[in-house]
Amino acid sequence: MYYNNRDVRLENIPVPEISRDEILVKVKAGGICGSDVLEWYRVKRAPLVLGHEITGVIEKVGERARLYSDLGAESRPAHTVVGAGGGVTKYKPGQRVFVSHHVPCNKCRYCLKGHHTACETLHTTNYFPGGFSEYIRVPAINVKHGIFVLPDEISFEEGTFIEPLACVVRGQRLAGFKSGETVVILGSGISGILHLLLARARGAKRVIMTDVNKYRMEAAKRFGADAVINAGERVPDKIRELNEGVLADLVIVCTGALPAFKQALECADRGGTILFFAATEPGVTVPVPANEFWRNEMKLLTSYANSPDDAREAIELIKSGIVKVRGMITHRLSLEEARKGFGLVAEAKDSIKVILAP
């Protein structure tokens, strides 16, 4: 139960009851996301159970109510309802699954235009009580659009990367990334390294990363960055030195630090794209040199969350080994150690991927 980044408590609540169109999942692993420790975002709704990068095993599925037509007249119980039915038939107990917490309706004007993450349904759906628990109740709409059976090739721990990698897949697709481009990634945490691995797998000419933390800078080198720059230096000048005198085709901001947002505006080449993958605190304004961007056909865009298709693509990337994620796990903790895990992620110093295992 999350109260703030320094106050995470182990509490007992009843195992959730499920209806006939829902599923009960026993959680096996859950990754702590950087967004889980954004206090300005979380504390206003605290106390609550967080956790949205989870894998587990189906414990129970909602049962189909029996129809009148299923029974002979002499066998019909008094409580059987005409038109009853429902029930979960696509999944069964014992299956290993990844569960999406937010799912789109696939019917609204935003979904039909491909903007699934702008869908109001996606913004308001979730499972209960949250992934950092022993069991979760998966509502009917999440069962319909957000349950994915884990391939045998993907472990429970590796499956916790499906959600963050799906977000990265969506971000690079929206940014129009192409093979042969130079990518600069500001921030070398979990999302930054996933962007590195995906860009590398898809043929980036050069990937340059930044950070201020030595541990993460070394991790970026270890995972294949061509160069890593201390974010406190003159990053645009360093990029030119490393990139044949020109700036980046694609700049991806993977940190909520305001200086990185401002720095990104100076790091993209003419015709380049800047993807704000992270978010600032509410009310923050980033000044854009509109005239310069207009003359040089620069693009600014944002990316939030992922759609079911993005999740499917992420699963295939992990299953095939195109994006290798296991080496990113730095800490494996129990629910009893959740407070320590939140501290590690909030400090953003000596960790990359922290996993809680009930």
Q: Is a pLDDT exceeding 70 seen at residue 84?
A: no
Cβ(225)–Cβ(157) below 8 Å: no
- Give residue 79's pLDDT: 42
CATH topology of domain 2-165+306-356: Quinone Oxidoreductase; Chain A, domain 1 (3.90.180)
Task: Give the residue extent of every domain in the chain.
Answer: 2-165+306-356, 176-302
- Give residue 147's pLDDT: 98
**Locate tokens 């182990």: which residue?**
10
- Give residue 77's pLDDT: 46
Q: Is a pLDDT exceeding 60 seen at residue 143?
A: yes
Confidence bin at 81 (pLDDT 50/70/90): very low
- Long-range (24+ apart) CB contacts under 8 A made by 123-129 are 125/101, 126/52, 126/101, 126/102, 127/25, 127/99, 127/101, 128/16, 129/13, 129/16, 129/48, 129/49
Q: Is a pLDDT exceeding 90 seen at residue 73?
A: no
Which residue has better confidence, 330 or 72?
A: 330
Span 309-350, pLDDT tens digits: 999 999 999 999 999 999 999 999 999 999 999 999 999 999
Q: Is a pLDDT exceeding 60 seen at residue 68?
A: no
Q: Is a pLDDT exceeding 80 seen at residue 67?
A: no
Span 163-175, pLDDT tens digits: 999 999 999 999 9
Least confident among 53-57, 78-82, 133-137, 348-352:
78-82
Q: Is a pLDDT exceeding 90 seen at residue 83?
A: no
Task: Name the strand (E) or helix (H) holding 341.
Answer: helix 338-347
The pLDDT of 177-185, averaged and rounded, is 98
Q: pTM for this one?
A: 0.94
Q: Is a pLDDT exceeding 90 seen at residue 69?
A: no
How many whole angstroms separate alpha carbon 300 and alpha carbon 293? 9
**Neighbour tally for 93: CB within 10 Å:** 12
CATH topology of domain 176-302: Rossmann fold (3.40.50)
Confidence bin at 66 (pLDDT 50/70/90): low
Residues 6+ apart with CB under 8 A from 22: 62, 88, 137, 138, 139, 140, 143
Q: What percent of the chain has pLDDT over 90?
A: 93
3-state secondary structure 244-307: CCCCEEEEEECCCCHHHHHHHCCCEEEEEEEEECCCCCCCCCCCCCHHHHHHCCCEEEECCCCC
- Give residue 86's pLDDT: 78
Task: Name the strand (E) or helix (H) holding 3.
Answer: strand 2-4
Confidence bin at 78 (pLDDT 50/70/90): very low
Span 236-267, pLDDT tens digits: 999 999 999 999 999 999 999 999 999 999 99
- Give residue 64's pLDDT: 79
The rounded mean pLDDT for the chain is: 94
